[in-house]
Structure 1
């Protein structure tokens, strides 16, 4: 069975919120599918971003590459608007 990466801009995903922005490393880099590009934060913590998918999908695998992250929390919402988030997982740096 072929898997599709629905979190790519080429599949219709959009970064609809990012708490900080750097011209050289914009939030859109999160969903461009290229490992050599990235988003960097430029402010105080916590930092967050919201990715909107173009349709409701079942996610079976999530891969995140990050550097110097203390806590990673993943939440989801099935609403068309970025509201009513539900906690999925939280990991602390050890």
Structure 2
């Protein structure tokens, strides 16, 4: 088992639907778990992570606060083109409480992984970490 989506391991944020200079999207792939990516309540939001190398995604893990439904997709190749769904799930719906969920995926080869946050349970949400397990 190998964890793929960390900035220390070479992963990069390719796209995010919102950005705050104090709480940037890169925080959710940082090794520092006290940092987070702040999301406004204007759902849906998404982030696209470029993995350091192509990998077979078997599981994803998310640590967050105030997220609702999540959909995870993959794309392969030098640029994201068509997306294939890996999994979708709901985070535990308690506002203001740290959430930690993992989901098994329909294993598939990926260079890019897209996390779509379809809903939240409060006006603001935070993503502390995203992990892609191969």
Q: Confirm or deny a common fold (TM above 0.5).
A: yes
Which of 12, 33, 43 is the aligned partner of 1:35?
33
For 1:14-93, what aligned pairs fall within 5 Å after superposition?
14-42=12-40, 44-93=42-91
* Structure that is richer in strand per residue: 2
CA contact (8 A) 1:73 1:91 kept: yes
- Structure 1 segments (4+ residues) deviating >3 Å: none
Return the alpha-carbon distance in structure 2 between the equivalents of residues 48 and 79 of structure 1.
20
Return the alpha-carbon distance in structure 2 between the equivalents of residues 89 and 63 of structure 1.
11
- Relative contact order, higher structure (CA 8 A, sep 6+): 2
Shift in Å at residue 42 of structure 1? Answer: 3.1
Alpha-carbon deviations, 1:53-92, whole Å to 9, x = none?
1211123432111211121000011122122110111113
In the alignment, structure 2 segments of 5+ residues that lack a partner are: 94-134
TM-score, normalisation: structure 2: 0.62
TM-score, normalisation: structure 1: 0.85
Shift in Å at residue 43 of structure 1? Answer: 5.7
- 2:73 is paired with a residue whose SS is strand
